[in-house]
Amino acid sequence: MEIIKSATAGTLESCDASVTVEAADPGASAGERLVIVVESADKRFAGRVRETAAAALAQLGVESARVTIRDRSALDCTVRARVLTACLRAAGRDASANLPWEYIK
């Protein structure tokens, strides 16, 4: 999936996460094409939030993006839902578009 614009999903309320997805810098090297930045209220879970986001991105086939996650103790399913939603919005998909439901299991 190609990210064509910036998009956000979620809130900064307790037990939620705000996810922003942007297109990667065109001049970025191969190792910098997919960047996940996690700002977590509880640093102990930042690694798990990053793993969950990476899995959701891989599921959609996103290989090039900058993803910023502001976590407020969100559950894994919430982080995943926010990442999927922000990516679909950033790819220019709307509710009337043919969504890739096979990825959203």
Q: Is pLDDT of 103 > 80?
A: no
What is the spatial distance between Cα 73 and Cα 51, in angstroms, rounded to a whole number?
Answer: 15
- C-alpha 35: how far from its chain's center? 10
pTM of the model: 0.87
Domains and CATH numbers, the chain: 7-103 (3.30.230)
Backbone φ, ψ for residue 26 (5° rounding): -60, -25
The pLDDT assigned to 92 comes to: 87
Cα–Cα distance measured from residue 32 to residue 80, given in angstroms and rounded to the nearest whole number: 22
pLDDT at 61 over 70: yes
The 3 state secondary structure assigned to 23-59 is CCCCCCCHHHCEEEEEEECCHHHHHHHHHHHHHHHHH
